[in-house]
Structure 1
């Protein structure tokens, strides 16, 4: 994996539960890691459902493997250029060389 191709900054987030000062649960997205990644748009299109048109964008990101993101999964999310992407698939590349992340985001 060439360092020059990892030219985009992404933020990986995990949904967590913490407690406030009254010991009440607070649900929020917490930053898991901020990484350099390569970015490749896969396709964009429009979906029609329930008489609503929604534009969507699918993308593929590749990052270096690290222990902080080794357990990344579709329950997590990715933020790129202020757009939140839902993680669809996480696939290892080689033996702890990298991680390929396939995402979908609303384009509107």
Structure 2
């Protein structure tokens, strides 16, 4: 069994990363808006610092990093690496359909493991 499957660790991750994890559908507009508000109040750009991504969005982004580079994709390898690590609003928008699809296909418990 994965370590994250242990209730104490699972609950700690949810509490620190995505406290509304059990209630949202993979994307948390309230969390994103709150992160933008905090970042702007602290004098940063809207997505610099607090990102507001849900655990599901973070998993979607990590899965991008796990996919091998495809030379037939039309992207250079450097563009692929940059796209996977991008922290812009455009990148966050790209994560949305993947996060929504994950929530439809997998249970919350499966997403955490």
Common topology (TM > 0.5): no
TM, length-normalised to structure 1: 0.29
Larger RCO: 1 or 2 (CA < 8 Å, sep 6+): 2
**Which structure features the higher share of strand residues?**
1
